[in-house]
Amino acid sequence: MTNRERTFTISELAREFDVTTRTIRFYEDEGLLEPAREGQRRIYSRRDRVRLMLILRGKRIGLSLQEIRELFELYDAANDDEPQLQEFIRILGRREQQLQQQLKDIKEAMKEISQLRQQCESWMLARKEGVEG
């Protein structure tokens, strides 16, 4: 069997990517993976393995399943990689902007928390000095 013909069981993929078999079945139900069937047994191809890897990577960087699906559909329909890469760049740019905004929001919240904590500490110190003085 060549590397291209290699197949995988659901358990093998679950172990390799440290996910549950339920997670893999969920992605299958969502139409993102398309294993062959031998009775009740699922047979995953090298293509399914790569797609699972891309799904998990996309989820890690915050892409939605819909965005991942769109990329897969675009790739399946494209005769070359350029349209897929352009769409991927667009999606990554949008996600990068979202993360930049979240980072800005987090920094602002941290600043407010620090100010509130300092204010509370000052109040507590003033109370303590008032009681002792």
Asked if 41 and 2 count as a contact pair (C-beta separation under 8 A), the reply is no
The stretches in the chain having pLDDT less than 70 are 1-4, 78-81, 84, 132-133
Whole-model pTM over 0.85: no
Amino acid 80: pLDDT: 64
Question: Residue 35, Cβ neighbours under 10 Å: how many?
Answer: 20
Amino acid 104: pLDDT: 96
Amino acid 89: pLDDT: 84
Enter the tokens of residue 66.
């819909």
Counted residue by residue, the chain has a size of: 133
Amino acid 4: pLDDT: 64
The CA-based dihedral angle spanning residues 29, 71, 46, 61, taken in that order and rounded to the nearest 10 degrees: -90
Is residue 40 helix, strand or coil? coil
